């Protein structure tokens, strides 16, 4: 049986696309290789959103050239956004690559591999499925016990925004929406199989419209508002039709579509957790305009205030770009003041980098690299201080944690075992101490927060939670592919 391995770079959409590739390849008779170097087929699922991400691919292919030389029948596949962006050019530039497949061509992967095995030439397949969009479901990664507590469900793909810095409209194509019936059916199936939390995925997830036209207008929706979508209506339908779902998250929303109907859904639907990741990109109106973000700072603040008022205890996280063309010290100061004003509890910060096919290529990349670096450091100082104060403030409280898996790190205090860890309703990472002997995977447990770490909480089960928990059966609880589902850290990331 030929063996394959997939290496994933980039966003949750890419992580999910990799899950689909696992499915497609397994169904075609491939087996996953334990060690990527042992694979017959190696897929690099790439990201091109920032220059650094694209460089990663290039250095990885350089390294893999030797892997191929050892056994020339090995197949190197480049998938994802760099594949879509570069197409055939990749085959010409890097001879080690045998195949290039775009995000919409994943189902064709086994067929294309078959052609290659028969002696076919290297091939690039990067065609959008705009006429008949396909939304493949992916079976979530399974632990040995067969339970996967969290899963992604795609509800739309592509992007019709034209943010001037962003390559995604080019690499992911125009917006296409998945029929609401299909979305609900997939979520119901996942929940029946033990999934507790679903994250709805889309490049601008809250611009969703139902191609079936089957959703009743959501309360609070105003049909004349150009920013109105049917996202709130979809959330309501999921909440009503899949009552067994414990948590319903989504990523990434665009601030433009954070309309009153969505705010009302947050106020009324208990299944929506008290955390939203809402990329703002800059706190300066001048920069926001040049980024073509289609909202002002005041609009962003007003909308997030309304959301926070509707959902007590809500926390917000965001993405910010520093050093966008023309960004002055004053513009950057406005970004810092916005971070303080909104009080983000998590922040991903990036240095602007020029991307192909983007409108901002017409603007001079005029903020020097060292200034970008210094601004990023100041931004992180600000956000780390906010996160740290927030986490400290939670010490002594009780929280409900959905246990997602076990940490790779050793436990504190030298007792050795990997701790259970998961997320609170607000998305803080929590490590649960003193419960190594219990089976908590997929459980929502009540914990007492005993300590704040830099980016996470340290907690213990409450007495009631301990009394209700099951003892662990030996060897039955490890997640199947922890590398693909390691907990992302809610914190700053270098740009
Ligand atoms: N340069 C730097 N950061 C970028 N992002 C998107 N495009 C660029 C770029 N050209 C960031 C944005 C986005 C996140 C996924 O990546 O902050 O929200």
CATH number reported for the structural domain that contains residue 429 in this entry: 2.40.50.140
The rounded Cα 134 to chain-centroid distance in angstroms is: 20
Domain boundary among 367, 393, 419: 393
Q: Does the pLDDT value for residue 7 go beyond 90?
A: yes
Do residue 255 and residue 342 come from a single domain? yes
Which pLDDT value is given to residue 146?
58
What is the Cα–Cα distance from 256 to 227, expressed in whole angstroms? 6
Which residues, in sequence order, are bridge partners of residue 432? 420, 459
Do residue 313 and residue 221 come from a single domain? yes
CATH number reported for the structural domain that contains residue 303 in this entry: 3.80.30.20
CATH number reported for the structural domain that contains residue 32 in this entry: 3.40.50.12160
For ligand 1, atom 14: residue with the closest CA: 319
Q: Which positions ≥6 away from 308 have C-beta within 8 Å?
A: 314, 316
What is the Cα–Cα distance from 432 to 445, expressed in whole angstroms? 10
Do residue 155 and residue 56 come from a single domain? no
Tens of pLDDT, residue by residue over 82-130, are 999 999 999 999 999 999 999 999 999 999 999 999 999 999 999 999 9
Do residue 322 and residue 228 come from a single domain? yes
Do residue 294 and residue 324 come from a single domain? yes
Q: Taking residues 200-211, report their average pLDDT.
A: 98
Q: Taking residues 370-399, report their average pLDDT.
A: 98
Q: Taking residues 405-419, report their average pLDDT.
A: 63
Confidence band of 140 (pLDDT split at 50, 70, 90): low
Q: Does the pLDDT value for residue 494 go beyond 80?
A: no
Which pLDDT value is given to residue 475?
53
CA angle 238, 239, 244 (to 5 degrees): 100
What is the Cα–Cα distance from 124 to 86, expressed in whole angstroms? 9
Q: Are 48 and 167 in contact (CB under 8 A)?
A: yes
Q: How far is the CA of 83 from the centre of ligand 1 (A)?
A: 18
* Residue of 9, 51, 165 to mutate, ligand 1, most atoms within 8 A of C-beta: 165
Q: Does the pLDDT value for residue 416 go beyond 90?
A: no
Determine the length of the chain: 495
Do residue 9 and residue 51 come from a single domain? yes
For ligand 1, atom 7: residue with the closest CA: 166
Confidence band of 472 (pLDDT split at 50, 70, 90): confident
- Residue 260 located in a structural domain: yes
Q: Is the CB of 166 under 6 A from ligand 1?
A: yes
- Residue 479 located in a structural domain: no
Confidence band of 413 (pLDDT split at 50, 70, 90): very low
Q: Does the pLDDT value for residue 42 go beyond 80?
A: yes
Tens of pLDDT, residue by residue over 234-274, are 999 999 999 999 999 999 999 999 999 999 999 999 999 89
Q: How far is the CA of 133 from the centre of ligand 1 (A)?
A: 26
User: Between residues 143 and 230, which one has the greater pLDDT?
Assistant: 230
Tens of pLDDT, residue by residue over 287-300, are 999 999 999 999 99
Q: Taking residues 402-430, report their average pLDDT.
A: 79
CA Rg value for the chain: 23
Q: Is the CB of 324 under 6 A from ligand 1?
A: no
Q: Is 413 annotated to bind ligand?
A: no
Confidence band of 418 (pLDDT split at 50, 70, 90): confident
Q: How far is the CA of 36 from the centre of ligand 1 (A)?
A: 29
- Residue 478 located in a structural domain: no
Do residue 220 and residue 334 come from a single domain? yes
pTM for the structure as a whole:
0.93
Domain boundary among 78, 95, 127: 127
Q: How far is the CA of 254 from the centre of ligand 1 (A)?
A: 13
Q: Is 23 annotated to bind ligand?
A: no
Q: Does the pLDDT value for residue 144 go beyond 90?
A: no
Q: Is the CB of 383 under 6 A from ligand 1?
A: no
Do residue 269 and residue 326 come from a single domain? yes
How many folded domains does the chain comprise? 3
Which pLDDT value is given to residue 54?
87
- Residue 492 located in a structural domain: no
Q: Which positions ≥6 away from 258 have C-beta within 8 Å?
A: 206, 278, 303, 304, 307
The rounded Cα 445 to chain-centroid distance in angstroms is: 24
Do residue 218 and residue 333 come from a single domain? yes
Q: Is the CB of 350 under 6 A from ligand 1?
A: yes
Confidence band of 398 (pLDDT split at 50, 70, 90): very high
Q: How far is the CA of 40 from the centre of ligand 1 (A)?
A: 34
Question: Could you tell me if residue 401 is left (phi over 0), alpha (psi between -120 and 50 degrees) or otherwise beta?
Answer: beta
Domain limits at 429?
398-471
- Residue 477 located in a structural domain: no
Q: How far is the CA of 321 from the centre of ligand 1 (A)?
A: 6
Do residue 289 and residue 333 come from a single domain? yes
Do residue 111 and residue 23 come from a single domain? yes
Which pLDDT value is given to residue 139?
75
Domain boundary among 393, 416, 435: 393
For 190-244, strand residue ranges (E) read 197-201
* Sign of torsion over alpha carbons 292, 296, 297, 300: negative
Q: Is 146 annotated to bind ligand?
A: no
- Residue 134 located in a structural domain: no
- Residue 490 located in a structural domain: no
Do residue 166 and residue 250 come from a single domain? yes
What is the Cα–Cα distance from 403 to 206, expressed in whole angstroms? 27
Q: What phi and psi values does residue 343 have, to the nearest 5 degrees?
A: 70, 50
Q: Is 81 annotated to bind ligand?
A: yes
Atom index in ligand 1 nearest the CA of residue 167 equals 7
Mapped onto helix, strand or coil, the DSSP state of residue 113 is helix
Q: Is the CB of 321 under 6 A from ligand 1?
A: yes
Tokens coding 411: 């436990």
Q: What phi and psi values does residue 136 have, to the nearest 5 degrees?
A: -70, 135
DSSP line for 339-394? HHHHT-SEEEEEE----TT-GGGGS---S-HHHHHHHHHHHHHHHHHHHHHHHHHH
For ligand 1, atom 1: residue with the closest CA: 352
Which pLDDT value is given to residue 492?
35
Confidence band of 411 (pLDDT split at 50, 70, 90): very low
- Residue 476 located in a structural domain: no
Confidence band of 137 (pLDDT split at 50, 70, 90): confident
């Amino acid at each position: 049986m030929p063996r394959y391995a997939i290496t994933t770079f980039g966003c949750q959409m890419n992580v999910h696309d990799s899950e689909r590739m696992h499915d497609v390849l397994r169904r075609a008779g491939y087996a996953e290789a334990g060690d990527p170097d042992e694979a017959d087929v190696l897929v690099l699922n790439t990201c091109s959103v920032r220059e650094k991400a694209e460089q990663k691919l290039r250095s990885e292919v350089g390294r893999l050239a030797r892997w191929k030389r050892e056994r020339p029948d090995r197949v190197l596949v480049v998938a994802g956004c760099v594949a879509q962006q570069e197409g055939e050019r990749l085959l010409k530039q890097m001879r080690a690559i045998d195949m290039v497949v775009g995000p919409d061509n994943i189902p064709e992967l086994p067929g294309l591999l078959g052609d290659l095995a028969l002696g076919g030439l290297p091939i690039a397949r990067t065609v959008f499925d705009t006429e008949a969009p396909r939304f493949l479901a992916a079976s979530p990664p399974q632990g040995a016990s067969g339970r996967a507590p969290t899963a992604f469900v795609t509800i739309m793909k592509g992007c019709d925004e034209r943010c001037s810095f962003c390559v995604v409209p080019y690499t992911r194509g125009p917006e296409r929406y998945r029929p609401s019936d299909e979305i609900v059916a997939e979520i119901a199936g996942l929940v029946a199989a033990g999934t507790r939390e679903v994250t709805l995925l889309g490049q601008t997830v809250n611009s969703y419209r139902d191609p079936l036209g089957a959703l009743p207008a959501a309360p609070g929706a105003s049909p004349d508002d150009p920013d109105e979508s049917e996202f709130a209506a979809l959330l309501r339908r999921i909440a009503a039709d899949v009552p067994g779902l414990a948590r319903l998250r989504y990523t990434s929303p665009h601030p433009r579509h954070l309309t009153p109907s969505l705010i009302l859904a947050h106020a009324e639907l208990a299944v929506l957790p008290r955390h939203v990741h809402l990329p703002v990109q800059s706190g300066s109106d001048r920069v926001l305009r040049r980024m073509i973000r289609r909202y002002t700072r005041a609009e962003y603040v007003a909308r997030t205030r309304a959301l926070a008022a509707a959902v007590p205890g809500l926390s917000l996280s965001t993405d910010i770009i520093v050093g966008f063309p023309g960004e002055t010290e004053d513009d950057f100061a406005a970004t810092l003041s916005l971070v303080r004003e909104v009080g983000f509890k998590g922040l991903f910060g990036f240095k602007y980098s020029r991307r192909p096919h983007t409108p901002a290529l017409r603007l001079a990349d005029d903020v020097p690299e060292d200034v970008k670096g210094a601004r990023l450091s100041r931004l992180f100082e600000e956000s780390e201080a906010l996160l740290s104060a927030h986490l400290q403030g939670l010490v002594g409280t009780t929280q409900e944690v959905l246990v997602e898996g076990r940490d790779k790190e050793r436990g504190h205090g030298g007792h050795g075992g990997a701790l259970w860890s998961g997320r609170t309703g607000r998305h803080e990472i929590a490590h649960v101490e003193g419960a190594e002997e219990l089976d908590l995977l997929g459980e929502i447990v009540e914990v007492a927060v005993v300590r704040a770490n830099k980016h996470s909480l340290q907690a213990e089960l409450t007495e009631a939670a301990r009394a209700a928990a099951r003892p662990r059966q030996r060897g039955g609880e490890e997640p199947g592919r922890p590398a693909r589902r390691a907990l992302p850290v809610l914190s700053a990331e270098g740009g």
